[in-house]
Amino acid sequence: MGNFSLIRWVCFRPWLEAGGPGALPRQVQATFGPVGAHLPLARQVAASVDAWLLALCQQRQRTGLALRMAQDGAWLAALRQDMQARLAPSAQVQRQHTWLGWRMEAELLRLVRLLEGPEMEQEVQLWDERFWALAASLIRLGQAYQALVEAQGEAQAQRSYREAAARAWQRATRE
C-alpha cells in the first residue's frame, strides 16, 4: 500500500484548490448533496486539518494499521458508506449541537478511511469520486465546527475540536 493515503491527500489538495475541476456530475450531486456550493468551506477545513491528518496517516502507516484495516471487512463496509454520506442541511446540523463534538470525531475518522481505503474492486470508484467524498467530509466537519461556534462560542468550539481530534487519533492508532 505504501504511502497511498499521503499521495491521495497531496493530489486532492490541488484538486480542491482548483474548485473540483470539471463539471459537477449529477451523480455526485445526487450522492453527496450540494458540495459544489460549499467548496470554499472544504478548502478552509482542509488547510486546518492538513498537518494533523498527514501525521496521523504517517503514524498509521508506520505501525501497519493502514494496511491491516484496509483488509478488514467491517472497515471496508464503513468505507462504502463513507462514499455515500450526504451533507446534512445546515438547520439540522445546528439543532444537533450537543452531538457536534462526536460528529467532528466521526468526520475526522471518515477522512482517514477515505484516504487509506483501497479502490473498490467491484465498483468502479474513480479518484474524482473519492475526492468529492473527501470534500463532502471536510464540509460536514466545517459545518459542525461552525455550528459549535454559534452555539458555544469560538473558545469552546476550539476546545471541542481539539478533544474530537484527540479521540479520533486515539481510535485511529489502536488496533
The pLDDT assigned to 1 comes to 42
In this structure, what C-alpha cell is assigned to residue 93? 446540523
Tell me how far apart the alpha carbons of residues 91 and 89 are, in angstroms, rounded to a whole number.
6
Percentage of the chain modeled with pLDDT above 70: 83
Amino acid 122: pLDDT:
44
Contact 46, 84 (CB under 8 A): no
| pLDDT tens string 46-103 | 999 999 999 999 999 898 887 777 677 777 777 777 777 777 766 665 566 668 888 8
Enclosing domain of residue 158: 4-172
DSSP 93-156: HHHTGGGHHHHHHHHHHHHHHHHHPPPPTTTT--HHHHHHHHHHHHHHHHHHHHHHHHHH-HHH
pLDDT greater at residue 150 or residue 119: 150
| Whether 49 contacts 141, CB under 8 Å | yes
As a whole number of angstroms, the distance between CA 81 and CA 59 comes to 24
Task: Average the pLDDT over each of 5-9, 39-43, 63-67, 117-121 and give the range with the smallest value.
Answer: 117-121
pLDDT band of residue 125 (cuts 50, 70, 90) is low
* 112 compared with 95, residue with greater pLDDT: 112
Rg (CA), the chain: 15
Q: Report the candidate in 78, 108, 95 with the shortest Cα–Cα distance to residue 151.
A: 95
pLDDT, tens digit, for every residue of 128-142? 788 889 999 999 999
- What's the structural domain count of the chain? 1
Residues in the chain, overall count: 175
Q: Is the pLDDT of residue 121 over 60?
A: no
Q: Which three cell numbers stand for residue 105?
A: 470525531
Confidence of residue 107 (pLDDT cuts 50, 70, 90): very high
Summarised one tens digit per residue, pLDDT across range 69-85 is: 767 777 777 777 777 77
- Please tell me the pTM assigned to this model: 0.87
